[in-house]
Structure formats: structure tokens, C-alpha cells
Amino acid sequence: MAWMRSDLISAWLRSQDDIFCKQGGHVRPLMNKAPFHKTKGLKFSSIKIHKLEPNTTPFNQPLDAGIIPAFKAPFKQIPDNHVVNVLGSSTADSYKVDILTGMQWATAAWRDVSEEAILNCWKHTKVLPAPGLHEVEKQDLDYTFTGSLTTMQTLCA
């Protein structure tokens, strides 16, 4: 299992602050009080971090509000299907796969999570207003996500 480190979070926040500064925007990320979310002493121009209260994540974080279970349900079926369809019999070693296969399974499971399920989780948390949520420019979201993903891949390399 991979673990997040506070230096990676700090570097990512700095890179996002640079991006928002250049765009003239501001953002207020919600962060729980996980040990690696150490931001004390960090100064940002365009980011103001909001620390969540303990034991509130199921109520204000869409991943905990249902996105993770929506992903896990199809993901848990994939190894069983693999054993039955490809190998024919189940042994302890039947479930051992390489990292690439695991990533491919995760990708397949993520594709099974519906847009409606994700939107419902966001609505449930009331983090974003439900009206107009769907009208957010998909190109802007795709650009922001792709930029963030590229930054994280660079930091983790």
C-alpha cells in the first residue's frame, strides 16, 4: 500500500498555488486532519486551506459519501471473474497479479462508476451547490484535472 507524505502534499499545494496565481483565481481545499496534511507554516497567495473537524468525512467528502463504495463494488468482482474465466479454479495464487493488471482492473472498475453516482455523492455532501453543478464547463474540469495529475506524477517520479 502506498502512503502519502507531507512533503508531497506541500509540493503539490505549492504547484497549485502557482497555477491559481497565474490564472488570478483562488481556491479553498477541504483537508481532513490526516497526519500527512501538515500545512502549518506554509504560505499561499491563492490557496486558503479549510481543515475539517474529526469524524466528519462521511458527511462532507464525496469519496467517503459513496464514491469509494461505488468503485469497490465492481472492483471486487473483477478478480473473481478473472479466476473463473481465465484460470478455471481458485487457489491462493490465483489472485496474485502484477501491478499493470491491477491498474487495468482499477481502470475498468472506475469506468463502471456512473456520472450520476458521483453527482449524487457531491449533492449528498452539500460541498457544492446542486443547481448548476452539471453545467460546470467540462473542458475546464478536464484541464484542471489533467494538470493536477501531471503535477502529481512528476512529484512521485
Per-residue pLDDT of the chain (157 residues; tens, 9 = 90+): 356 788 888 888 999 999 989 998 888 887 877 777 778 788 999 998 888 777 776 777 778 788 899 999 999 998 888 887 776 666 667 778 889 988 999 999 999 999 888 888 887 777 665 555 455 545 455 555 555 555 555 655 5
Written as nine digits, the cell of 153 is 506524477
**For residue 1, what pLDDT is reported?**
39
The reported pLDDT for the residue numbered 129 is 55
Instruction: Give the domain range for residue 18.
Output: 1-56
Which of 39, 56, 73 lies at the terminal end of a domain, its last residue?
Answer: 56
Q: Do residues 10 and 40 touch, judged by C-beta distance below 8 A?
A: no
Shared domain for 26 and 72, answered yes or no, is no
13 and 78 part of one domain: no
> How many angstroms from the chain centroid is the CA of residue 4?
12
Q: What does the pLDDT read at residue 107? A: 92
Distance CA(58)–CA(62), nearest Å, equals 8
Contact status, residue 66 vs residue 120, Cβ threshold 8 Å: yes
Q: How many domains does the chain have?
A: 2
Residue keyed to cell 468503485: 71
36 Cβ contact list (under 8 Å, min separation 6)? 3, 4, 5, 6, 8, 9
pTM above 0.85, yes or no: no
Q: What is the pLDDT of residue 72?
A: 93
> Same structural domain for residues 49 and 70?
no
Please tell me the predicted confidence (pLDDT) of residue 137: 46
Predicted pLDDT of residue 2:
55
68 and 145 assigned to the same domain:
yes
Strand intervals (E) in the chain: 30-31, 50-51
The Cα 82–Cα 88 span in angstroms is 9
Tell me, what's the pLDDT at 40?
79
Looking at residue 54, its pLDDT comes to: 76
pLDDT value, residue 147: 54
